[in-house]
Chains A and B, each alone.
Chain A
Amino acid sequence: MPMVQIENLDIVFGNQKLESLRLLDKGMSRAEILARTGDVIGVQDATISVEEGEICVLMGLSGSGKSTLLRAVNGLNKVARGRCLVKDGERMIDMAKCDENTLRHMRTNRVSMVFQSFALMPWMTVLENVAFGLEMQGMGKKEREERANKQLKMVGLYDWRDKKPDELSGGMRQRVGLARAFVMDSDILLMDEPFSALDPLIRSQLQDELIELQKRLKKTIIFVSHDLDEALKIGSKIAIMESARIIQEDVPEQIVLNPATEYVEKFVAHTNPLNVLRGNALMTPLDQVAQLDDLYHVSEHLSLNIQAGVLKEALSHGQNIALSKWDDSMDIENMPENTIVVVPVDISMRDAVEIRYQTKQPIVLQENGQCVGVLGDHQFYHALLGKHFSRAS
C-alpha cells in the first residue's frame, strides 16, 4: 500500500469551479479557461503514488503547479476533483473529502511540512518554534520541550534554543524548520522548496544532511524543487510538472536518459550528468566494437583480447599493458597509470571519469563476471554535451 496516492486530481482556484472543470474536460487550455471563467487551473489530472521510504521530487518551473499539488496532500489546498489518499494506519484517508477533525488528526500526526521561506514564528524562540506542532497536538510543556531539545541537538542548534529566528542565519533557520517537522515524528514529510532560499554551499550541505537523516529515519518525503540537480541528487523518483500537469514520472536516471518532452530535455540539458548517469547508460556495448578474431579494436592504438567474456590482455601500440579491477570499496587515486581497469557496469559517471583520468586508458565494464562494454573519451564527451538523449535519434 503506498503512503500517498493521488488519483486524477484537479485543483482549481476561483469561484466557478464546476464550469472550469467542464471546460477542462472539453480540452480547453489553462489560458482559455482563465479568460472564460477567471479561474486558475492549479493542477490538472495528476496521478502519482509515493511508496513508503521514497523521496518523490515534484519538479517544474514556478507556476507549474508543483507547490499546489504538494499542498493538497495536507489539505492546505482544496481539491476540486479526484482523490488524494494518505495512509493512516491501515486506512487510506482521502484528504479531499475528510472532515475537520480527521484533517487535524492527519496534520498533527501523519503529515508535516517544511516551507520555502522557513515560516518560523518570529515572536517565538527557536525552542518554541520547534515545539509548536507538539503544542498543537496538546502535549504538555515539559514533554514537548524535552522532545524539541532532543531534535535541536540532532540538527546542531541546541545552543541557539533561546534565540529568536531573526538572530539566526538562513541555513540555521531552515534547520529549525526541519527540526519542527521532524519532531512531529510523522511518517510523511512535505517539503516545499526548502533549500531554494539558501546560498549554494549551505544548500548542498543541507541536502547532504537530509540524505543522511533519511538513511536513518526512512520517512516518506514529497519534495518540491525547481532545480533538477537537486531533484537528481536527493530524489528516488522525480515527477516533472509543466503548466499544471505531470508530464513525466520516473527514476532520476531515466529522466536524464529519456526526457519525455522538449521541456524536460531543456531541464536535463542544464544538469550535471556526472552525478546521475551510470556506466550501463554511457558505454558502447561490446558487440558494437570493431572485432577481429578475439581482438576488440577500441581505438587505433588499443585492442582488447576478450575470450568468453573475460579480459585476457590489452595491447596498446602493440605493447601489452597491465590489467586491473576496481569496485566501490576501492580508492581511485591509487590506480596505476596506463592500466586497463575492469569495473562494475553500474559505476557512476563521476567515478568512471576519475578512473579514466588516473589511468589514461579506456575502461572495461563487466556485469556478472562478463565484459559487456567499454567507456572512453568519446562516450564521456557525448554525455557531457547532452547528446545521449537526443530524442530525434
Chain B
Amino acid sequence: MNWLTEHKLPLGDTMETFVNWLIDVASFFFDFISVTLETLIFSMVDGLEWMNPFAVVACVLALVWWLHRSLGIMIFVAASFMLIMNLGYWQETLQTLVLVITATTISVLVGVPIGIAAAHRPMLYTVLRPILDLMQTIPTFVYLIPTLILFGLGYVPGLISTIIFAIAAPIRLTYLGISKVPNELREAGLAFGCTKAKLLYKVELPAAMPSIMAGVTQCIMLSLSMVVIAALVGADGLGKPVIRALNTVNISQGFEAGVAIVLVAIMLDRICKTPSSKAEG
C-alpha cells in the first residue's frame, strides 16, 4: 500500500501546468473570445432592458402564436411574465434568457455540424463518444475553475461551462437522427439525382429534423440547469439571487427566485416542444 501512496501520479499538477501554459501562449486568444462574447451578451441584455417589458412580452407572444397557434400556451406565457415582473426579477430573467439563448445558439451552430460529420464517419463518432460522455459526467464545478482562470470573472466562463455541458445533446441527437434516416430515402434521393450536398439538405436533414429539434430543446433545458452554477463565477441572471439567498439563508428570496427559474424553464419547454410543421418547413 505504501509504495502506491508514496509515488503519487502528478495528474492534477499536469493539468495545472497545462492550463498555465495555455494562459502563457494563448491569453490574447482567450481574452479576445471573452471580450467578444461579453460584448455580444451585454448588448443583447441592454437592448432588451431598454425595451418596454410589455413590448418584449408581446414579441414572445407573437412568436408563440406563429409557432403553435395555441391560446393556452400564450396565456401561460403572459401570466408567467406578469408574475416574474411582480416578483421583481424582470432584469434577471432577461439576463438568464440571453445566456440560455446564446449558449444554445452556439451549441447548435457547433454541435449540429459535428453530429452530421459523425453520422457520416463512423470512426469519428467512436472517438467522439467518450469525449461527449466525459463532458457530461465531469462535475461542472471542476471545469468551472480553468474556465474562470482562462476567461476571467463574469458571463463568459458561465457561458463556456454551459456550452461544454449542453453541447453533447445536439451532437448526439443530430448523429442519431442522421444515422436513423431510412436507407431507402437516401437511395431515393440518389436515384433521382441528388448531389452529396443536396442529399444532405433535401433528404437527410429534413428527415432528421424531429431528432435535431429534440436535441435543441434538450440543449435549452441543460443550459437553463446551469444558470445557478454560472452565477457562481459571476454571470448575472436568476442564479444570482439564489446564491445570495443561500449565503444569507433567506428562504423567501430563494423560493421566489426558484419559482422564476421554474417558470422560465416551463415557458422555454412549451415554446420549443414539437413546433408545428409550418415552422419545420
Contacts and interface: CB of A to CB of B under 8 A. Distances in A.
Interface stretch (A129-137, A247-255, A298-306): A129-137
A119 B184 contact: yes
Nearest to A115: B184
Interface stretch (A83-91, A105-113, A143-151, A263-271): A105-113
A74 interface: yes
B183 to A, nearest CB: 9
Interface residues of B, number: 20
A119 B187 contact: yes
B185 A104 contact: no
B108 interface: no
Contacts of B206: 121, 123-124
Given A104-B193, A133-B193, A137-B193, A123 B188 contact: no
B269 interface: no
Contacts of A111: 191
Contacts of A180: 192
Contact of A107 (B185, B193, B202, B277): B193
Contacts of A115: 184, 187-188
Q: Is the interface of A mostly helix, strand, loop or mixed?
A: mixed
B202 to A, nearest CB: 8
Given A119-B185, A123-B281, A113 B207 contact: no
A184 B203 CA distance: 19
A66 B188 CA distance: 18
Nearest to B194: A136
| Majority SS at the chain B contact face | helix
A125 to B, nearest CB: 10
Given A119-B187, A119-B188, A123-B280, A108 B209 contact: no
A136 B195 CA distance: 9
A108 B207 CA distance: 22
Contacts of A120: 188
A123 B193 contact: no
A156 interface: no
B190 interface: yes
B182 interface: yes
A113 B280 contact: no
B190 A107 contact: yes
Interface string A187-203: 00010000000000000
A285 interface: no
Contacts of B195: 100, 104
B89 to A, nearest CB: 40
Contacts of B182: 117, 119
A117 B184 CA distance: 8
A123 B190 CA distance: 17
Contact of A184 (B190, B192, B280): B192
Contacts of B198: 136
28 contacts: A74-B191, A76-B187, A100-B195, A107-B193, A112-B192, A113-B187, A113-B191, A113-B192, A115-B184, A115-B187, A115-B188, A116-B184, A119-B188, A121-B185, A121-B203, A121-B207, A122-B207, A123-B207, A123-B209, A123-B281, A132-B192, A132-B202, A133-B193, A135-B202, A136-B194, A137-B193, A180-B192, A184-B192
Q: Which 9 residue pairs spanning A and B have beta carbons closest together?
A: A108-B193, A133-B192, A119-B188, A119-B184, A136-B193, A113-B191, A107-B193, A123-B206, A104-B193
Given A71-B187, A104-B193, A117-B182, 14 more contacts: A107-B192, A107-B193, A111-B191, A112-B192, A113-B187, A113-B191, A119-B182, A119-B185, A119-B187, A123-B206, A123-B281, A133-B193, A180-B192, A190-B191
